[in-house]
Chain A
Amino acid sequence: MVRYVISRTFSSVPLLFVVITVSFFLVRLAPGSPLARERAMPPEIRARLERHYGLDRPWSTQYWNYLRGLLRFDLGPSYKQKEASVNALIARAWPVSATLGALAFALALLAGVMLGCLAAVRRATLIDRSLMFLALMGVSLPNFVLGPILILVVSLNLLWLPPAGWGGTRHIVLPVLTLAAPYVAYIARLTRAGMLEALQEGYILTARAKGMRERRVLIGHALRAGILPVVSFSGPAVAFLVTGTVVVEKIFAIPGLGNLFVQAAFNRDYTLILGIVLVVSTALFLFNLLVDIIMAILDPRIRYGKS
């Protein structure tokens, strides 16, 4: 197991390297420049700016300098937001996105697994059918439709919660609900399918035959196996959540990483783009690794198969 984790970690370093290299040259290949402004700039000022940021050097030198910076965890200066380093901009934005994402993920897991179990236990009843209909509804309701509708009803008509911004607890509720809703639905579907599969296994019959209480059969035995599809989905789910935060941050005007990235892409702020891509890729990789470890702990077959 330890060896597996170490080898996965080392194999990911080249991957991050490739991501960074490709993005580095991609942003430079694109037409337009980070120094372009609304008004034309006198050539001598432009030349000075280029020299200041090292943009007058050949790409290979720029690339080399950037990599050297990375070794010191220095992501460079932002080309668009003066006096701000990329490190500082990301440090300010990521806790916002992380809070949003973590709360939404927790809500999706909790509600999704509970509803999925309920549907599986009450299989083929009215409860099951209506829950699964709602779940399909939830999967088909994009968060950029749900978010504005929530604002319309809860903020503009009922005046219960603020429609936008970031500050207190009151600002968190609507964005988290918007972000979590499709995943509650999807995880409920996965849990139901996994539980139904698990409930047919021989060991469930054995447990019941031993006279084990139904609650323990369900939670201790069926859920442990039934939740596996959910765990393996949570890797991609976090990737989707990261994407979702981009939209949710835009809808609710939240100063997070997603908003920062879209701005940076439009502004051609090379270093900021690269910094965010690097941070997000690393975070996704770490999370996927965590998911694999949890899978191995939950499912002995994976654990023993690997060693």
Chain B
Amino acid sequence: MENPDRRPTDRTLALSTVSRPGVLRNRAVIIPALIVLLIAGASLLGPAFLPFTYWETHLELGASPPSLTNGHYLGTDLLGRDLLARMLYGGRISLLVGFLSTAVSLLIGVPYGAIAGYLGGRIDEIMMRIVDVLYSLPYMFIVILLVALFAQPGTVDALVDVFDLAPHNPIVSWLRGPGLRLVFLFMALGAVSWLTLARIVRGQVLVLKNAGFIDAARALGQTPARIIVRHVIPNTLGVIIVYTTLTIPSVILQEAFLSFLGLGIRPPQASWGTLVSEGMQALAVAPWLLIFPGGMLVLTLLSLNFLGDGLRDALDVRI
């Protein structure tokens, strides 16, 4: 998105704020970053300090409301599982999917955009045409299709056959458990979110390509690959950082979306999406099951979006 608050005349002034201490002193960056770190830290370490696990059921405590006396501070779900434990565990999954899928999209999108932009001409045209085509597909339908059709035991059986794996190989048993769904989520979400990144990086590279220092590198006889890796990509880092920060919440949102439809993580495992979905089903009897996980999801997305906006202003990046 454009950043209208920075006019070209502000640019010289903004240069001083590009330095790192400047960014770290910026409240619009620090506060959301701290909230994200807090949520991530709690999800990572919190379960170890809780007296309950995310899967332990206590039917006699089913759907008990939040209470300070029985230790279930956020209440329990219909099966009597501690909601706080499930939210923190769900946070691990949601954040893991968010970060890893974003990493996948970085790995595809950055080189793709940089190569297209740097080489230019016919190659650029073809590469960007492919991106346009992929853009115009109803990709969420395709993701739904892929996950619904392939994320099931039959696929693992086929893999075992094709690669001749031992049936009790730890990887195979992990795939039979939560693994296959997770792998599909990473791939599907990563594979669809690189498109915008590729476009943005390409746009930046087109501007950079004619810069003096790139000419100089070329005149010194450096290879295109080296120029892209050493000179082009480092100079697009600001844009990449900002856009990555904005991609993470959108991936987390999409994972939650799929889990909400029953296509993501399977019980007893949880992600924020499955928790919201369980909460919706118990809306009339146990509204806290919707409000707390939904609130945590919204807080995370809001912080990441604020962080992206703050970084964009602080680094003076235009997307």
Contact = CB atoms under 8 A, between A and B. Distances in A.
B276 A145 contact: yes
Interface string B262-277: 0000000000010011
A279 to B, nearest CB: 10
A193 interface: yes
B144 A265 contact: yes
Interface in B262-319: 273, 276-277, 279-280, 283-284, 287, 290-291, 294, 297-298, 301-302, 305-306, 309
A106 interface: no
A200 B4 CA distance: 10
Contacts of B157: 31
A189 to B, nearest CB: 7
Given A148-B290, A251-B280, A265-B149, A229 B305 contact: no
A140 B303 CA distance: 9
Contacts of A273: 145
A268 B158 CA distance: 18
User: Which residue, of A30, A139, A141, A281, has the highest number of chain B Cβ atoms within 10 A?
Assistant: A30
Contact of B140 (A30, A243, A250): A243
B302 A136 contact: yes
B276 A156 contact: no
B191 to A, nearest CB: 14
Contact of B283 (A151, A276, A277): A151
Interface string B195-235: 00000000000000000000000000000000000000000
A93 B286 CA distance: 32
A64 to B, nearest CB: 22
A30 B184 CA distance: 14
B4 A192 contact: yes
Contacts of A247: 257, 260-261
A15 B315 CA distance: 40
A98 interface: no
Interface stretch (B12-20, B75-83, B131-139): B131-139
Contacts of A189: 1
Contact of A148 (B144, B150, B276): B276
Nearest to B153: A31
A266 B149 CA distance: 7
B137 A197 contact: no
A246 interface: yes
B136 A250 contact: no
Interface of B: 1-5, 7, 133, 135-142, 144-146, 148-150, 152-155, 157-158, 249, 253, 256-257, 260-261, 273, 276-277, 279-280, 283-284, 287, 290-291, 294, 297-298, 301-302, 305-306, 309
